[in-house]
A and B are shown apart, each in its own frame.
Chain A
């Protein structure tokens, strides 16, 4: 009987351990968020946000100084013109903070903590106002000191993506398949548009409207007056934001295909280009090159014809959209030995950054 008792106690203890190890209450894990200015890269990586010197790849600061189990950072940090770095927590503590990009010190007297859900989306800063979407379904409107400047706008579903704007209207996507158009001046919200699938990414602003990719495997073209139509389709979910470049729309899907659509004619410019794995990150276009990061862990540079210029194996899955900082491409692989790597435009690795414990 003693053995039986021991087995039961061990089993319950094992159960507790396994459940605890399953990442309990709040947001479990996610890929990194990334931003950069001329001097530093800023990477949100779970419990900490790091600033990394672009020249040396060395850590400049980390926030908070000691990891807090209630704080988790996954959104892309946002730099403002008045020298702030904005980032919200996706942990059980829903703090939205402003940091000094040079030092990592908090700039606001107190963090904004009215959001009831995780901050997975980056905020949009426009005309000295911060528009911060939260997974609680509200779009919070703050001034540059972190105080509420207007009542939050309830949109419904979880908001995972930064709003886009044409200067007059805000375009906000939601995970509950809805697309929202908000008049910035009046705060009026138009009737939501159902896109047929969840939308985890921001709309791409074109000349006459916006383009939105969704889990319905389509790119919808939506005009400011709310009229909308399917502009293009894909073979699988579209996760990253489409990119509008002059008269061409670029987008990719979870099948790993990259599309180039002639907006004027609605024709595809090439047969789908398919590097080596699903594509979650948005495409990045600089000059004549299109940079693509795949889940298979490859950074690919394509020309405008879809031909591979070079490709580089980064060594781990890539979900975060790469960013361009000066003459470098920054890539933040997920669950890799390093959290950030810098490449030059020829694909040569300049440095990697691994946080010290």
Chain B
């Protein structure tokens, strides 16, 4: 079921793009980049709704009525919840709108990872599975095996540079340049999209702050340990996310500076 709905279509799109590009060296990397752009275009409305939802929730945190409710029913959590739901309804806010794109991202990330390893087929058994996953209209005999070289990387394996200088049990592939870029771009993206808050008890802001540290580390760890093709996806996806958010004019560039969030909050 998972294979039929997620893995096989993704694998076929990747293989098709690779074929259209001329299926030579570096083309699978380009196929991943184009595929990422395609995913971003498809999920653009969802991401926009995430931004809108997050913004609405943030504005709510600074809303007087909302803050009054928090104070008034401080000892009655059930009542607070009821009042919150009332306000959500009245103002047409979906509290989970900002979660939906995140939920959709996970099957895509997992599916893409599996599609990349699937398409690159490092063992005969993988190759056999790939042969059966490719749709009949594709010129599979001519395409297989896919060339996994992209720049200095083998997209089917974890990335690293300077292997001759750096070789430890923790970094068996050398210096993980891509993992560092993944962590950095994830950090930049999360910081830019982090809304400002004047409410010191704003749990949403606290959570955003925590996630801006947690997510770069997590995705950096993925990039460090898994096929470098997934790291290429993360980087392109992050850059496009930053561009998309900047295009809305809401990017909080001052957040990138130490204490930037507090300064902005004070100004407000």
Decide if B245 is an interface residue (CB 8 Å cutoff).
no
Contact of B222 among A16, A27, A74 (CB under 8 A): A16
Report the minimal beta-carbon distance from A94 to chain B, rounded to whole angstroms. 12
Decide if B182 is an interface residue (CB 8 Å cutoff).
no
Q: Are B103 and A11 in contact (CB under 8 A)?
A: yes
Decide if B106 is an interface residue (CB 8 Å cutoff).
yes
Decide if A120 is an interface residue (CB 8 Å cutoff).
yes
Contact of B124 among A19, A120, A217 (CB under 8 A): A120
Q: Are A30 and B123 in contact (CB under 8 A)?
A: yes
Give the distance in Å from the alpha carbon of A74 to the alpha carbon of B122 in the complex: 12
Instruction: Report B-chain residues with C-beta under 8 Å of the C-beta of A160.
Output: 124
User: Most chain-A Cβ atoms within 10 A of its Cβ — which of B145, B211, B215?
Assistant: B145
Q: Are B141 and A74 in contact (CB under 8 A)?
A: no
Report the minimal beta-carbon distance from A201 to chain B, rounded to whole angstroms. 10
Q: Are B122 and A24 in contact (CB under 8 A)?
A: no
Q: Are A18 and B145 in contact (CB under 8 A)?
A: no
Q: Are B225 and A24 in contact (CB under 8 A)?
A: yes
Decide if B87 is an interface residue (CB 8 Å cutoff).
no
Instruction: Report B-chain residues with C-beta under 8 Å of the C-beta of A15.
Output: 106, 109-110
Decide if A23 is an interface residue (CB 8 Å cutoff).
yes
Tell me which residues from 116 to 135 in chain B have a Cβ below 8 Å from any Cβ of chain A: 117, 122-128, 131
Report the minimal beta-carbon distance from A92 to chain B, rounded to whole angstroms. 7
> What class of interface size applies to chain A in its complex with B?
35 or more
Known A-B contacts A19-B113, A215-B141; the reply to A30 vs B125 at CB < 8 A is: yes
Q: Are A14 and B106 in contact (CB under 8 A)?
A: yes
Give the distance in Å from the alpha carbon of A2 to the alpha carbon of B144 in the complex: 48
Q: Are B123 and A120 in contact (CB under 8 A)?
A: yes
Contact of A1 among B123, B203, B227 (CB under 8 A): B203
Known A-B contacts A5-B207, A198-B145; the reply to A24 vs B123 at CB < 8 A is: no
Q: Are A16 and B218 in contact (CB under 8 A)?
A: yes
Instruction: Report B-chain residues with C-beta under 8 Å of the C-beta of A8.
Output: 99, 102, 207, 211
Report the minimal beta-carbon distance from B179 to chain A, rounded to whole angstroms. 13
Interface size on B, residues (CB 8 A): 39
Tell me which residues from 113 to 172 in chain A have a Cβ below 8 Å from any Cβ of chain B: 118, 120, 135, 157-158, 160
Decide if A357 is an interface residue (CB 8 Å cutoff).
no
Contact pattern, B 134-146, Cβ under 8 Å of A = 1, otherwise 0: 0000000110110
Contact of A22 among B102, B113, B158 (CB under 8 A): B113
Give the distance in Å from the alpha carbon of A30 to the alpha carbon of B128 in the complex: 10
Report the minimal beta-carbon distance from A219 to chain B, rounded to whole angstroms. 15
Give the distance in Å from the alpha carbon of A22 to the alpha carbon of B96 in the complex: 29
Q: Are B227 and A25 in contact (CB under 8 A)?
A: yes
Give the distance in Å from the alpha carbon of A249 to the alpha carbon of B164 in the complex: 49
Q: Which residue of B lies closest to A70 (CB)?
A: B172
Give the distance in Å from the alpha carbon of A26 to the alpha carbon of B227 in the complex: 8
Decide if A227 is an interface residue (CB 8 Å cutoff).
no
Instruction: Report B-chain residues with C-beta under 8 Å of the C-beta of A23.
Output: 117
Report the minimal beta-carbon distance from A22 to chain B, rounded to whole angstroms. 6
Q: Are A197 and B141 in contact (CB under 8 A)?
A: yes
Tell me which residues from 30 to 70 in chain B have a Cβ below 8 Å from any Cβ of chain A: none
Q: Are A11 and B106 in contact (CB under 8 A)?
A: yes
Report the minimal beta-carbon distance from B218 to chain A, rounded to whole angstroms. 6
Q: Are A31 and B125 in contact (CB under 8 A)?
A: yes
Contact pattern, A 206-219, Cβ under 8 Å of B = 1, otherwise 0: 00000000011100
Tell me which residues from 128 to 173 in chain B have a Cβ below 8 Å from any Cβ of chain A: 128, 131, 141-142, 144-145, 157-158, 172
Give the distance in Å from the alpha carbon of A237 to the alpha carbon of B128 in the complex: 10
Known A-B contacts A14-B106, A120-B123; the reply to A22 vs B225 at CB < 8 A is: no
Q: Are B122 and A26 in contact (CB under 8 A)?
A: yes
Report the minimal beta-carbon distance from A248 to chain B, rounded to whole angstroms. 27
Contact pattern, B 87-102, Cβ under 8 Å of A = 1, otherwise 0: 0000000011001001
Tell me which residues from 1 to 57 in chain A have a Cβ below 8 Å from any Cβ of chain B: 1-2, 4-5, 7-9, 11-12, 14-16, 18-19, 22-31
Instruction: Report A-chain residues with C-beta under 8 Å of the C-beta of B73.
Output: none
Decide if A319 is an interface residue (CB 8 Å cutoff).
yes
Instruction: Report A-chain residues with C-beta under 8 Å of the C-beta of B102.
Output: 8, 11
In the A-B complex, the 4 residue pairs with the smallest Cβ-Cβ separation, listed nearest first, are A1-B203, A30-B123, A30-B125, A197-B141
Query: Contacts A15-B106, A18-B110, A19-B222 given; 9 further ones with Cβ under 8 A?
Result: A1-B204, A4-B96, A8-B207, A9-B214, A11-B102, A11-B106, A27-B123, A90-B123, A198-B127
Interface of A with B (CB < 8 Å)? 1-2, 4-5, 7-9, 11-12, 14-16, 18-19, 22-31, 74, 90, 92, 118, 120, 135, 157-158, 160, 175-176, 196-198, 200, 215-217, 237, 239, 254, 280, 319, 334
